[in-house]
Structure 1
């Protein structure tokens, strides 16, 4: 009811409304630690619960070359372990907070993707003595490696360039 110096006005109809529940803010401080060939550890800054609502997190991971994100963690902790990664691969990870309210889950925006690489697997090379013994048994020479071929070709180009320079210098002067 509204009232002023001229009097009282009629009562208005009852109007019911509800406020929108705000989604959680973006997650910050995403860090990758203990990167191994096939696993790593992620952690991020925890968000404060909003009112009586709890906060959970989704972590998504994608190979850099594919960029198809897959859910790899869902839970209340603000850290997780990623396992079964490929050695020598580049990954993107991102995290979003989810506000669990009585009306349902409200997902916040994802964090900026963080790029990391797993180290490649280094296989031990067989001892050189074993290789030499095998070649002596075959009685032949070892085939040239790609690096040796590259060196031979490069040397050939250098010799050719010097000869061309000498020829040009001789014809000009």
Structure 2
């Protein structure tokens, strides 16, 4: 009972329907109740903050998820505000929208981050969730390029590869795996910090595949971080043919290969042993000369006819 035409009623249940009637009272008595009764309902409470969880972490990103989209009612339109702590006690907005997931990127490796979330609907803004902490992982070293193979005989060779670069000063070692033709598995043949290694006791006339992986050694991590293997290099070693004249034949062959000359018989004397590029140059020059001669002859014929 009040002497005003406006009244605020509190302590009602949220999302509940009510009927309201008004009656006037004076010194004479009480009048009839208003009819029909006013039907009204209270709004729902602001949505509670969902729980945050991390679906996946890399060295530079965190994928977060919250709530359950399957439980969302069609009549509800809820927006979420995801915030990340940038300074102690200071949060910055990362995402605002209806989605139930977000990927926070451009983060530091092996670093903890604190997040909180808030839900908003037509009923208003709900409270923030308790901050949740998730950490990024350490970065794996990149894959080295394919190694370079230098034969050192018919059963040994030298493997060399470029060193990988890290953003930190952590030491890096390397793993070398070798696969022989006919085998489906790679076996580790080298494990050290140098960017070259020698392989011996290989089978000649057999294809081999060699690949390299980098291993990062972090002082704060008990386990080394092995990166992916790079592309493999396929190679085959050939056995040198046996020579009947011993050392003199080997010296002669080496000299012949170095000088680029060979014997063609006693009548022809010493003739140069031309390579493919030299023969190609001779052919191009010959065709050019023939074209010039043909042009000159054609010009003479035209001049005589005139």
TM bucket normalised to smaller: 0.5 to 0.7
Contact 2:146–2:230 (CA under 8 A) maintained in structure 1: no
Mind listing any 5+ residue stretches in structure 2 that lack a counterpart? 1-88, 92-126, 245-306
Query: Does 2:234 align with 1:122?
Result: no
Q: CA distance change for structure 1 residues 50 and 100 in 2, over 3 Å: closer, same or farther? A: farther
> Which residue does 1:74 correspond to in 2?
191
> Which residue does 1:56 correspond to in 2?
173
User: Secondary structure at 2:225's aligned position in 1?
Assistant: strand
TM-score (norm 2): 0.35
Q: Identify which of 59, 74, 84 aligns with 2:201.
A: 84
Q: Which has the higher contact order (CA 8 A, sep 6+)?
A: 1
How far does residue 30 in structure 1 lie from its aligned partner after superposition? 1.6
Contact 2:146–2:232 (CA under 8 A) maintained in structure 1: no
Moved over 6 A (4+): none
Residue pairs, 1:101-120, within 5 angstroms: 101=218, 102-103=220-221, 104-120=223-239
Q: Distance in 2 between matches of 1:29 and 1:69?
A: 15
How far does residue 52 in structure 1 lie from its aligned partner after superposition? 3.2
Q: CA distance change for structure 1 residues 120 and 67 in 2, over 3 Å: closer, same or farther? A: farther
Q: Distance in 2 between matches of 1:34 and 1:59?
A: 17
Q: How well do the aligned residues superpose, as a CA RMSD in angstroms?
A: 2.7
Mind listing any 5+ residue stretches in structure 1 that lack a counterpart? 4-9, 126-173
Number of equivalenced pairs: 121
Q: CA distance change for structure 1 residues 12 and 88 in 2, over 3 Å: closer, same or farther? A: same
Residue pairs, 1:5-154, within 5 angstroms: 13=130, 15-101=132-218, 102-103=220-221, 104-120=223-239, 122-123=241-242
Structure of greater Rg: 2
Q: Distance in 2 between matches of 1:2 and 1:107?
A: 37
Superimposed CA distance per residue, residues 121-145 of structure 1 (whole angstroms, 9 cap, x where no aligned partner): 53457xxxxxxxxxxxxxxxxxxxx
Contact 1:88–1:121 (CA under 8 A) maintained in structure 2: no
Contact 1:96–1:109 (CA under 8 A) maintained in structure 2: yes
TM-score (norm 1): 0.60
| Richer in helix (by share) | 1
How far does residue 28 in structure 1 lie from its aligned partner after superposition? 1.1
Contact 2:146–2:233 (CA under 8 A) maintained in structure 1: no
